[in-house]
Amino acid sequence: MIPVQGFEGQGVAVLGLGRSGLSAARALREGGAQVVVWDDNPKARDKAEAEGFAVRDLTRSEAVEDLACLVVSPGIPHLYPTPNPVIAAALDAGVPVDNDIGLFFRSLGAGWDQFDRAPRVVAITGSNGKSTTSALIHHVLEASGRDAQLAGNIGRGVLDIDPPGDGGIVVLELSSYQTDLARALTPDVAVWTNLSPDHLDRHAGFGGYFAAKRRLFAEGGPDRAVIGVDEVEGRFLAGQMSEGRSDDRVIRVSSGRKLSGPGWHVFARKGFLAEWRKGRQVASIDMRDIPGLPGAHNHQNACAAYAACRALGLGPRDIESGLRSFGGLPHRSQRIAEAGGVSYVNDSKATNVDSALKALQAFGKIRWICGGLMKEGGLEALKPALENVIKAYVIGREAEGFALQLPGVDAEICTTMERAVAHAVADAQPGEVVLLAPAAASFDQYDSFEKRGDDFAERVTEELAKR
């Protein structure tokens, strides 16, 4: 646990008692704060009370006015579309509002004067690929013998980790919800994977979404910034962080095009990762036979992870070894079965159009299971990859409307995962891929994308067992 510093003897409230909220409450108490908690869910309140926390109804008038800080869980709106009433009351009362990420950076450095090598933090954000990139960095570090912990939006709660030891490295995946509110953001290495429209209601549009993620770089000024430059926002951010073309504090990353100039570049083209520095190639890795990182989108993740590990001092061959031993993450281009020459791939994490596009571009001859709660913008952006689709099997309550947005694609309205998998397995021929890449949220039928992916895997196993 990372005890929270700076609130000893002061009243601090925690709003929202999920994983991050309870973790923050424990760490605040460990640091000497007088903690009160609240959640609209009675079961969550009961759980916190059983751990000895004082429950205070923060929705009551003047309930926040004696607080030194209000700590908010990431799922609770603090600005758009409208602030939660408790947060609005705190803002009116002049009470600082923070989250567990801000508390982590505020508290992490206590006692580091005893170390020969100070611990370091790598923080990763972006629209797509940040979980894979975070897990990949962590895996490469551990495979190289480094002391590393994975936390944040993946792995453990950020305040639940052990205080890092001499030379230890903390790898954090951070969502826009987390970067938007954190009052302190001071990573040693900050990584930007890419940017595409998502969570627009929470950030009042694409500009607000960009601004929320940009805070990771603008607030603390990392020693190194690894920035994907395949979108204009990434190129803009890289330009803002750099003092000039040869400034190697910024490592520019791309998938699909060669980067040139005197700076530090890592890019992937035609299945090969290349590192260039000061106008010269210094390393190259053949990515084509690495099973845990299929497709151009995973090559982009590998470039970002490679660059971050290089910024931490690892050598190219050590990083390559780690890339080759990486098994991939569940629900992200996860190959779950092979039978009769057909591959079955679970990419349930492809909850938006951009991530689904990358999944469709990673494979050929696809029998595509798709559908769910569509997000803003429709499916037009999928058009470049639809030529890879032999047939679509559409699930979800909006299946008919989803299918209408796939002109020229043979689409079958299946509604349920059970029916979609049964028909796709029956139709599939050797050399084809049955791919779950929904391009939509899961909440019309499932509690999470993980539950959707698990259902797909279970249905595939059942269908293959019948044959």
pLDDT surpasses 90 at 191 = yes
304 and 230 both lie in a single domain: yes
Tell me what percent of the residues of the chain surpass a pLDDT of 70: 100
User: Residue 66 and residue 71: Cα distance in Å, rounded?
Assistant: 14
Is 132 annotated to bind a ligand? Reply is yes
Q: Does residue 23 belong to any structural domain of this protein?
A: yes
Given a cut of 90, whether residue 235 has pLDDT beyond it is yes
Overall average pLDDT of the 141-169 stretch? 94
Q: What is the pLDDT of residues 79-99, one digit of tens each?
A: 999 999 999 999 999 999 999
Question: Is residue 331 within 8 Å of residue 302, measured between CB atoms?
Answer: no
Tally of structural domains, the chain: 3
What pLDDT does 330 receive?
86
Q: Which of 325, 355, 384 is the last residue of a domain?
A: 325
Using pLDDT thresholds of 50, 70 and 90, give the confidence band for residue 329. confident
pTM of the model: 0.84
Residue 172, pLDDT above cutoff 90: yes
129 is in an annotated binding site: yes
Which residue range is the domain that position 414 belongs to? 334-465
Taking residues 108-121, report their average pLDDT: 86
- Does 340 appear as a known binding residue? no
Q: What is the pLDDT of residue 37?
A: 98
Residues 6+ apart with CB under 8 A from 324: 290
State the CATH number of the domain containing residue 374.
Answer: 3.90.190.20
Largest CA distance in the chain: 67
Closest CA to 302 of 196, 384, 228, 214: 228
* Same-domain status, 185 and 297: yes
Q: Are residues 308 and 344 in the same domain?
A: no
Phi, psi of 231 (to 5 degrees): -120, 155
Q: Is residue 6 part of a domain?
A: no
pLDDT, tens only, 431-449: 999 999 999 999 999 999 9
Mean of the per-residue pLDDT values for the chain? 94
Provide the residue type at 435 as one letter: L
Going by pLDDT thresholds of 50, 70 and 90, the confidence category of residue 240 is very high
Does the annotation list 126 as a binding residue? yes
Average pLDDT over residues 279-305: 92
Instruction: Assess whether 170 and 83 both reside in one domain.
Output: no
Average pLDDT in the 451-462 region?
Answer: 97
The better pLDDT of the pair 458, 291 is held by 458
Is residue 3 domain-resident? no
Same domain, 214 and 358: no
pLDDT score, position 354: 86
Say yes or no to pLDDT of 379 above 80.
Answer: yes
**pLDDT at position 376 over 80:** no
* pLDDT above 90: residue 386: yes
Residue 130 known to bind ligand: yes
Q: What is the pLDDT of residue 297?
A: 85
Q: Are residues 398 and 314 in the same domain?
A: no
Smallest Cα–Cα separation from 414: which of 433, 432, 427?
427
Q: Is residue 355 part of a domain?
A: yes
Task: Identify the CATH number of the domain in which residue 158 sits.
Answer: 3.40.1190.10
Phi, psi (deg, nearest 5) at residue 54: -80, 125
- Gap between the Cα atoms of 346 and 324, Å rounded: 20
pLDDT at 109: 83
Question: Which pLDDT score is estimated for 292?
Answer: 85
Q: Where are the beta strands (DSSP E) in 297-402?
A: 334-339, 342-346, 366-370, 389-395
